[in-house]
Amino acid sequence: MLVLVAPGQGAQTPGFLTDWLALPGAADRVAAWSDAIGLDLAHYGTKADADEIRDTSVAQPLLVAAGILSAAALGDIADLAPGAVAGHSVGEFTAAAFAGVLDDTAAVSLVRRRGLAMAEAAAVTETGMSALLGGDPEVSVAHLEKLGLTPANMNGAGQIVAAGTMEQLAALSEDKPEGVRKVVALKVAGAFHTQHMAPAVDKLAQAAKTLTPADPKVTYVSNKDGQAVASGAEVLERLVGQVANPVRWDRCMETFQELGVTALIEVCPGGTLTGLAKRALPGVKTLALKSPADLDAARELVAEHAQQA
């Protein structure tokens, strides 16, 4: 069974969209999305520097656009026939497009509103996120709570992401939980998936009211609890609420395993989620779409999966 996944914020790097835009029809699609949201996605995906694409209001629609574009280059979702789709944080919007809950333009447009609302919320207090590598999850979570931090991403495979004020994160760097090898600051502009993002939830909820979601055409696995969600309305409701709730990617991977995953493809800019899967899902074949050069190998993996089915 193939699972198609989409990465979250922090996966972007300068120029990562350049080669994808050279594919037939890609530049036109991105131009149409850019017009719809009032943001030059092609510029930010090809010419902008790391600081520019770190901006939450830019990074989020850029990531969703890249994910949709790279999946389309791989093939029609109906032909790929994934057994499940999921996304990490903002990647959930990409997955919602894969599942047919939102059309591509609606997904990019709503996530632009999300990014703007989260950037506004993040500007109130200087906050950020840091990844903890290694250690026991229970010990780490208790330590984070003692420092006033939130375990915003429970990523599995020995990785937790803490979120909070810069002062709290500095204290974490000086006082790591027992067993944690390293604390790594992430390339994000706020404490996402925490109470700091509560103001953004209300604004996103208002924007979501203008949409009519469809029920998922393939199994959609939610960050909230790792459960499959069959209602489009509930998917949309969860997309709104997840802005201020922790990401349970560990539970998403548990669900993949329960569903019988044999292969996992991560859309552009892939790498993060395949890395987690290699450690948490032994025996599952993984592939990250980093550039169009990866498409042939990805198609082979899809074909292999289809033969197994």
Sheet strands (E) in 68-149? 84-87, 127-134
The token pair that represents 97 in the structure block? 């497009």
Residues 6+ apart with CB under 8 A from 215: 101, 230, 231, 232
| Residue 198: its H or E element | helix 198-208
What amino acid positions are annotated as catalytic residues? 89, 193
The token pair that represents 250 in the structure block? 């560990």
Provide DSSP, 203-224: HHHHHHTT--PPPPSSEEE-TT
Helices (H) then strands (E): counts for the chain: 15, 10
What are the Cα distances from residue 145, in Å, to 70, 149, 177?
Answer: 38, 5, 11
The residue among 4, 7, 1 whose CA lies nearest residue 275 is: 7
What are the Cα distances from residue 73, in Å, to 20, 150, 303?
Answer: 9, 37, 15
> DSSP character for 299?
H
Residue 6 zone, left/alpha/beta (φ > 0; ψ -120 to 50; rest): beta
